[in-house]
């Protein structure tokens, strides 16, 4: 098993760069067990959302793990139908209750859609931040124009923007924006929902390093400045395999090969996506 101690290079501010995603992990006992397994393997970053319908199970997994709550970087997201000012406040409290915690380390606006109103929504996030119920304010699926607006409205800094990102969707513009404005990028679907496994360039690099294609894709993300990744995994095998990406060092030739991939493929593309 890979080592569990996180180095400074494996952190973005106080956020561990490799976390556990829990999207679609809706079987209660299985979800809790996945979280417990990940934490006891060394993960310290757990990501969930109101829309995932598993916050209670995630909280049970955190409580069951032999890891102090203060050592876990816990993130959740406010769904689009709850983004009116008062709904942000009330449903954030509901999320804390379900998770069984007094605060979350990061709270995201899940999408700039539906009930999202920049002034009303973000003022509620500021209030939660000031009250100590959230340690950091985040946004998800924001384009540069939404980020500009949010940064202007918020008193709290925009800590992170969580977006789909993987070798088939490298998000270079958002990575550059994050570097310029000190906004961390958190990559969801970092394995393109399994599509990266069939990419010849990824397969070649995996064979070269005696690694899995998942580890190659994750290592590439983790070597990018200002980027974290939250691969979804439910089984112990996949949780541990993803964790092993921390020990994979890609050389310049590997990185160039991945950057040469010319396929651009978005896996998450709802009608309300801000790029549509």
Q: Print burial letters for 55-79: b (CB count within 10 Å at least 16), e (below 16).
A: bbbbbbbbeebebeeeebbbbbbbb
Q: Where are the alpha helices (DSSP H) in 82-164?
A: 85-99, 118-130, 144-153
- With a CB cutoff of 8 Å and minimum separation 6, the contacts of 215 are 206, 209, 241, 242, 244, 245, 248
3-state secondary structure of 47: strand
The single residue of 52, 108, 116, 129 carrying the catalytic annotation is 52
Task: Find out whether 82 and 56 touch, Cβ atoms under 8 Å.
Answer: no
- With a CB cutoff of 8 Å and minimum separation 6, the contacts of 241 are 212, 214, 215, 233
177 is catalytic: no
The phi-psi region of residue 211 (left if phi > 0; otherwise alpha if psi is between -120 and 50; otherwise beta) is beta
- With a CB cutoff of 8 Å and minimum separation 6, the contacts of 193 are 267
Active-site amino acid positions:
52
């Amino acid at each position: 098993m890979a080592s569990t101690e996180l180095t400074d290079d494996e952190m973005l501010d106080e956020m561990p760069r490799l976390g556990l995603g829990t999207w679609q992990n809706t079987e209660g006992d299985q979800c809790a067990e996945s979280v417990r397994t990940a934490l006891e393997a060394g993960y310290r970053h757990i990501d969930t959302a109101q829309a995932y319908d598993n916050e209670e199970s995630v909280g049970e997994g955190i409580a069951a793990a032999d890891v102090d709550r203060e050592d876990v970087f816990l993130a959740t997201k406010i769904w689009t139908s709850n983004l009116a000012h008062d709904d942000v406040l009330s449903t954030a409290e509901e999320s804390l209750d379900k998770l069984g915690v007094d605060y979350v380390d990061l709270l995201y606006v899940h999408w700039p859609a539906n009930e999202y109103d920049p002034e009303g929504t973000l003022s509620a996030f500021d209030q939660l931040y000031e009250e100590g119920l959230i340690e950091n304010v985040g946004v998800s699926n924001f384009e540069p124009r939404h980020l500009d607006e949010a940064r202007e409205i918020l008193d709290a800094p925009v800590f992170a923007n969580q977006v789909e990102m993987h070798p088939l969707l490298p998000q270079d513009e958002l990575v550059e924006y994050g570097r310029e404005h000190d906004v961390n990028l958190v990559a969801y679907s970092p394995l393109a929902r399994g599509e990266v496994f069939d990419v010849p360039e990824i397969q070649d690099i995996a064979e070269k390093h005696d690694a899995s294609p998942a580890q190659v894709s994750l290592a590439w993300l983790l070597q990018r400045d200002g980027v974290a990744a939250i691969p979804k995994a439910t089984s112990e095998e996949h949780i541990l395999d993803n964790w092993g990406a921390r020990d994979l060092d890609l050389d310049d030739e590997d990185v160039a090969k991945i950057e040469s991939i010319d396929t651009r493929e978005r896996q998450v593309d709802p009608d309300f996506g801000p790029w549509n």
